[in-house]
Structure 1
Amino acid sequence: MHRNEYRQRRKRLLGMMPENSIAILPTSPAHPRNRDVEFPFRPESTFHYLTGFDEPEAVAVMIPDREEGEFLMFCRDRDAHAERWDGQRLGLKGVRRRHGVEQSFDIESIDRHLPDLIDGRSCIFYTIGNHPALDRRMIEWISALRIRSRMQPPADIVPVDRLVDEMRLRKSETEMDAMREAARISARAHERAMRICRPGMNECEIEAELMHEFMRSGCRSPAYPSIVAGGANACVLHYVSNDCVLEDGGLLLIDAGAEYRYYAADITRTFPVNGKFSPTQRDLYALVLAAQEAAIAAVAPKNTLEDVHQAAVETLVDGLTGMGLIKGRRNDILKNHRYARFYMHRTGHWLGMDVHDVGDYRVKGEWRGLAPGMVTTVEPGLYFAPDERNIPDELRGIGIRIEDDVLVNEDGGEVLTAAAAKSIEEIEAITGTGSAS
């Protein structure tokens, strides 16, 4: 992402902030994994969206029309001893040079400097609840201001998300390009998993193939923990154990996406472990695919995600009633959500820097209209749990989901993940045909 992109974002935020206000945005802390080991660090999305800075222990501050500078940063300064152990830091000078920071302070001095910056401000834009340690310090600083006669504590504390989430919802051309690349990499990973899959493999072996493709393509991390669910495990929507043997005749559901330059892809494909759908699997898969095609066709400006969901649900209901799995009138089934025993989740969610990205789905109580630059997943599915009652035995333990990422444009939707095989013919032609290269 070019430095100017971050500068333009900050300019937009500052333009939305009222006079005499301040925005305070901390990044994520480092999280311990176990003794003397930390999880790999990833900056908090909104912080990075506005700054481009990707070191821990930092707080960005933005103050409109401040003579000494509108963009301030508290971060770690250079430290030769610490850097020998943990790697180079930008430091106070480096963050000004590389990220356009106008004034920088050592993070260790935040108790001394930030209360003075808050003093006299009529409004603080700060999201309480995401960073408990900083929340406590904010309360202490504001309480101290109240008892110091010359200081005036802020009148309002407003979540900064209210401003930035709307900015993040509609993607710039640079963001779209990053998401297209994340989608291309993820599509290659899914095809790799199909090619390598054989009965008798473990789910974790397939996960390793996904990670191999992600990393060799420049992605250090998946966008979320990969779901590699063979057989009945696919009926657990957020299954992440990934430790079971893949059985001949079963299906494998993979829900996995790469994170490229902090932007996520999110793809789900379901395919037969042995490369050939059974007649029952084929019929169910064709139904889910038809529901997804109907939902993707509904992705267009001024339509809503509820329209997208309803297009999928109506197709699924028609298919399930045709198979005799649901009985009754179509409108009654839809009104009372009687399909939910087999399809219990929504058809899509916003996608961006976070896999479940920010942005309201409703505005003033009404479903918001889709607009160019928004990105949504489209992911209908059918799930027949092993203990589901009153269904044919051959359905038990089958879970099928098909998911793509769709960018709203002026004419409809661009399927960013179209390169990932999903037709029955494509899947059967690819699965099990060779080793990963």
Structure 2
Amino acid sequence: MRYPAIDKSLFIENRSRLATLLKPHSLVILQSNDIMPTNADGSMGFRQSTDLFYLTGVDQEETILVICPNHPDEKFREVLFLRETNELIAVWEGEKLTREQGRETSGIQTVYWTHQFENIFRNIVFEAESVYLNTNEHTRNDSPVQTRDARYVIEFKERYPLHSLCRLAPLMHQLRAVKHPIEIALMQKACDITRLGFERLLKFVKPGIQEYEIEAELLHEFIRNRSKGFAYQPIIASGANACVLHYIQNSRTCNDGDVLLLDVAAEFANYGSDLTRSIPVNGRFTKRQRDVYDAVLRVFYAAKNMLVTGNLWDEYHVEVGKVMESELIGLGLITKDDIAKQDPDWPAYKKYFPHGTSHFLGLDIHDLGNKYRRFEPGNVFTCEPGIYIREEGLGIRLENNILITADGNIDLMANIPIEAEEIEYLMNR
């Protein structure tokens, strides 16, 4: 791995926290992600199941985790299965984790090879009454691809039809929403690498540059700082492209007078950061651009102040919407009459701010969490208001990553320039 070894106490504690949520005499089975094909004999880069990584720290394909806290034989209470290396694999792919390395990475003492799974598993499964299997229950999930976990649900039902099955996903949503100090440190590192990339761009961007050239500069800076690269598909949107929320072509020329919207951030050790900035291509905002920028910035600060312990997702977004209404009126984009006549399910401000203000952040960019639970210490949210004026070809969004604590919040991106004056200064010095 590019990143230094993560303290295995994180994964030991994560498994311990999970065990306290299980029914008596339970069994948990988690599978690594597949390596996805492209064409011919090609494959995509491997991305580990974030739930499996959260519980083991193992960043390798063909991995299986079994947890059975009440098993009579102590060695079967936590079992890790790894892909066994051989000379052919070592030559073509590089060696995989040894059993000892698996123990050191995860803190799990019982380690077997994946091809031994069925023989070992029979010693475990019949001692369990409730079996927790994993499925993707993220509310934004819309993938037609069947995961390894999903295939195993079908397989398990066929082989062991009389066991009682339970959903692991709600427990993982509960656990992963509250970040451990080690996780927060890894996310801070991702944010710090992102800062280096953004500061590099402030010296690089000028009229005539291509959006993809900016992407290349960022990737260079991220990788040279031990990141695997972008935490998500980068959005580098100049001019009217900034009004397309998920613009990823990054193929246009950045012209004099454009505002460039950058939704770009690095990952580190599989943990993500999520930054958005909007900068003037020529180094100076016009008056209209600055007015819109400052309006978004005021909404950002107001929303950030609401990301505190005890607040509730839907209530938070309603209050942010009220602040945005006021700013849009001030910009002459909507009127009080528009608000009086608005559809409550699609308020007037949504014409210019159609997305939510925040989402959970962690191992996944839209991380696991439950919107119906009140905010609590250890939650990490994005804060990302924006105003998109399609008729003017102007889109501005600002985004930082906010850690909630018992007595307020901490901005993990506080050291990344966000004030318009500072951005203009850094672009022109």
TM-score where L is the length of structure 1: 0.89
Structure 2: runs of 5 or more not aligned: 1-5, 137-144
Greater shift in the superposed pair: 279-288 or 106-115: 106-115
Matched residues in 2 for 1:230 and 1:283: separation? Answer: 18
Residues 184, 96 of structure 1: CA spacing in aligned structure 2 closer, same or farther, 3 A cutoff?
closer
Is the Cα–Cα contact under 8 Å of residues 69 and 102 in structure 1 kept in the other structure? no
Aligned to 1:401: 397
Q: Residue 109 of structure 2 is aligned with which of 84, 93, 102?
A: 102
Deviation (angstroms), 1:131? 5.2
Task: Please give the alpha-carbon distance, in whole angstroms, between the structure 2 residues aligned to 1:325 and 1:24.
Answer: 53
Quick one: which amino acid aligns to residue 412 of structure 2?
A: L
Question: How many angstroms apart in 2 are the aligned matches of 1:133 and 1:27?
Answer: 7
Shift of 1:293: 0.9
State whether structure 2 residue 43 is matched by structure 1 residue 41: no
RMSD: 2.1
| 1:344 shift after superposition | 0.3
User: Aligned residue for 1:225?
Assistant: 233
Whole-Å separation in 2 of the counterparts to 1:120 and 1:10: 19
The residue type paired with residue 411 of structure 2 is V
Within 1, Cα distance between the matches of 2:103 and 2:188? 31
Shift of 1:98: 4.2
Q: Is the 8 A contact 1:291 1:313 kept in 2?
A: no
- Per the alignment, do residues 314 and 145 of structure 1 end up closer, same or farther by CA in structure 2, a change over 3 Å counting? closer
Aligned to 2:98: 91
Comparing 335-344 with 259-268, greater Cα deviation is found at: 335-344
Residue number in structure 2 paired with 1:393: none
Q: CA deviation at 1:105?
A: 3.0
Q: Aligned to 1:266, what secondary structure does the other structure show?
A: coil
1:74 aligned counterpart, secondary structure? strand
Question: Would you say 1:70 and 2:77 are equivalent positions?
Answer: yes
* Residue 289 (str. 1) matches residue 297 (str. 2): yes
Distance in 2 (alpha carbons) for counterparts of 1:126 and 1:34: 31
Q: Is the 8 A contact 1:165 1:359 kept in 2?
A: yes
Query: How many residues are matched?
Result: 412
Q: Distance in 2 between matches of 1:2 and 1:137?
A: 30
1:343 aligns with 2:374: no
Partner secondary structure for residue 101 of structure 1:
coil
SS in 2 for 1:33: coil
- Residue 149 of structure 1 corresponds to none
- 1:143 paired with 2:171, answer no
Alignment partners' CA distance in 2, 1:136 and 1:188: 41
1:241 aligns with 2:249: yes
Partner of 2:139: none
Whether the aligned pair in 2 keeps the contact of 1:269 and 1:403 (CA below 8 Å) is yes
Tell me what 1:164 maps to.
172
Q: Does the aligned pair in 1 maintain the 2:80–2:112 contact within 8 Å?
A: yes
Structure 1 pair 189–115 and aligned structure 2 pair: CA distance change class (3 A): same
Alignment partner of 2:163 out of 154, 170, 186:
154
CA distance in 2, matches of 1:423, 1:98: 42
In structure 2, the CA distance between the partners of 1:133 and 1:26, relative to structure 1 (3 Å rule), is closer
Percent identical pairs in the alignment equals 32
Code of the residue aligned with 2:62 in structure 1: it is: E
Question: Is contact 2:28–2:131 with CA below 8 Å preserved after alignment?
Answer: yes
Contact 2:68 2:128 (8 Å CA) reproduced: no
SS in 1 for 2:11: helix
The one-letter amino acid paired with 1:323 is L
State the AA in 2 paired with 1:381: G
Which amino acid in 1 is paired with 2:293?
A: Y
Q: 1:186 to 1:334 in 2, by over 3 A?
A: farther
* Residues 137 and 13 of structure 1: CA distance in aligned 2, closer, same or farther (over 3 Å): closer
Check whether the contact 1:22–1:64 (CA below 8 A) recurs between aligned residues: yes
- Aligned CA distance change for structure 1 residues 136 and 357 (closer, same or farther; 3 Å): closer
Aligned-residue offset at 1:17: 1.4
- The alpha-carbon deviation at position 115 of structure 1 amounts to 5.2
* CA 1:120–1:177: 2 relative to 1, 3 Å: closer
> In structure 1, what is the Cα distance between the partners aligned to 2:291 and 2:175?
42
Does residue 315 of structure 1 match 2:323?
A: yes
* Aligned CA distance change for structure 1 residues 78 and 380 (closer, same or farther; 3 Å): same
Asked if residue 80 in structure 1 is aligned to residue 84 in structure 2, the reply is no
Question: 1:289 and 1:334, CA in 2 relative to 1: closer, same or farther beyond 3 A?
Answer: farther
Find the partner of 2:374 among 369, 378, 393.
369
Offset of residue 118 of structure 1: 2.6
Distance across 1 between alignment mates of 2:39 and 2:97: 27
1:246 positional shift: 0.5
Counterpart for residue 428 of structure 1: 424
Equivalent residue in structure 1 for 2:29, among 24, 28, 49? 24
Distance 2:156 2:408 in 1: 50
TM-score by length of 2: 0.90
Match of 1:380 among 385, 395, 406: 385
> Secondary structure of the equivalent of 2:184?
helix
- Residues 162-184 of structure 1: CA deviation (Å, up to 9, x unaligned): 21221111111111111111111
- Secondary structure of the 2:349 match is coil
SS in 1 for 2:61: coil
CA displacement at 1:61 relative to structure 2:
0.6
